[in-house]
Amino acid sequence: MSKHDSNKRKNYKSIIQDTISKNASRRKTKNNLITVLLFCFVVIAIIPLGSILIEIIKNGVGALSFEFLFEAPGSIGSGGGGIGPAIQGTLLVVAFATLIGAPVGVLAGVYLSEYSDSSRTFAYVLRLFNDVLTGIPSIVIGITGYITLVLTLGSFSILAGAFVLSIIMIPIIARVSEETLKLVPNNLREAAYGLGLPKWKVIYHVVIKGSKSGILTGIVLAISRITGETAPLIMTILGTSLFFSGFNSPVDALPLRIWRLASQPYPSAHEQGWGAALLLILIVLSLSIILRMFAQQRRITFKSTT
């Protein structure tokens, strides 16, 4: 009986081992297959980005020169001159937009994260409108700026451009700020309260400082988003070939310049267009790298004392 039993057990054992090894090999192949498949998808997702970058660098590098960076454009098709006004305009408009948009966006995020408990419906409505604002096509925001600022002031201006771009920035910054502020552990807040700090000091010294890099990421995201905007700028800053000359005259921007250069029949204009595209990418890239360095340098780390 016992012999029979042990035989039986052996049988079962081998059967189980067989199944396991069979299963295991099937799972392994499945696993490998899926890994390869996922890798392929990642490659497919990266291909457009890579090819865009390669294409822009390949075509744009030839256009870059001192003259190209700092001078006003020569007559189109002549290949002379540069895109100085466009670079200056983009930097100015984005800087002004950030000066308006970043404080409003961050403070909105602070409200939603720290103060909204008392009136949940209001906060819900705010969040909803904020999300809707993110989804509004930028050209519509451009038309709003055109009607409210360009028509009332009577001229295209950098202020109108900065205003519409800041409206595009605000919901992005507000959303990201709210999310990162919420990540600050509650016991930090409680500890600060325990030390007798008033609420605003808790928010200012603990909550915001603790989530600074997250907030900066939001601002960087928003800046990268608006730097490439074309449609709302056509409606507000119009574009020009002159350097900045005042707050009530048109200014230029890189996306506008690229669009204009690309629609010309002259090869020299296309080359300048590629150069301008390369510069636009470089500006966005370096802005985000600089801001990230700022964030990293002054990051506060929470040390546990126990």
Binding interface with other proteins (CB under 8 A): 70-78, 81, 84, 87-88, 91-92, 94-96, 98-99, 102-103, 106, 150-151, 154-156, 204, 208-209, 212, 215-216, 219, 234, 238-245, 249-250, 260, 262-266, 290-291, 294-295, 298
Nearer to other proteins, 21 or 84 (CB): 84
The whole-angstrom separation of Cα 139 and Cα 169 is: 14
- CB contact set of 59 (below 8 Å; sequence gap of 6+): 271, 274, 278
CA 6 to chain centre: 68
Q: How near is the Cβ of 241 to other proteins at its closest, in Å? A: 6
Nearer to other proteins, 189 or 260 (CB): 260
Nearer to other proteins, 123 or 262 (CB): 262
Q: How near is the Cβ of 55 to other proteins at its closest, in Å? A: 16
Nearer to other proteins, 156 or 274 (CB): 156
Q: Which of 167, 163, 182, 168 is nearest to 109 (CA)?
A: 182
By three-state DSSP, how is residue 73 classified?
strand
Residues paired with residue 73 on neighbouring β-strands, in sequence order: 81
Q: How near is the Cβ of 65 to other proteins at its closest, in Å? A: 14
Q: Which of 158, 162, 182, 185 is nearest to 102 (CA)?
A: 162
Longest dimension (CA), the chain: 105
Q: How near is the Cβ of 88 to other proteins at its closest, in Å? A: 4
Nearer to other proteins, 44 or 241 (CB): 241
**Angle (CA) 149 150 153, round 5°:** 75
249-269 as b/e: b if 16+ CB within 10 A: ebbbbbbbbbbbbeeeeeebb
Nearer to other proteins, 123 or 291 (CB): 291
169, 227 contact by CB (below 8 A): no
Q: Which of 76, 84, 63 is nearest to 242 (CA)?
A: 84
By three-state DSSP, how is residue 168 classified?
helix
The whole-angstrom separation of Cα 184 and Cα 182 is: 5
215, 208 contact by CB (below 8 A): yes
232, 168 contact by CB (below 8 A): yes
Nearer to other proteins, 63 or 208 (CB): 208
Q: How near is the Cβ of 253 to other proteins at its closest, in Å? A: 11
Q: Which of 280, 297, 303 is nearest to 83 (CA)?
A: 280
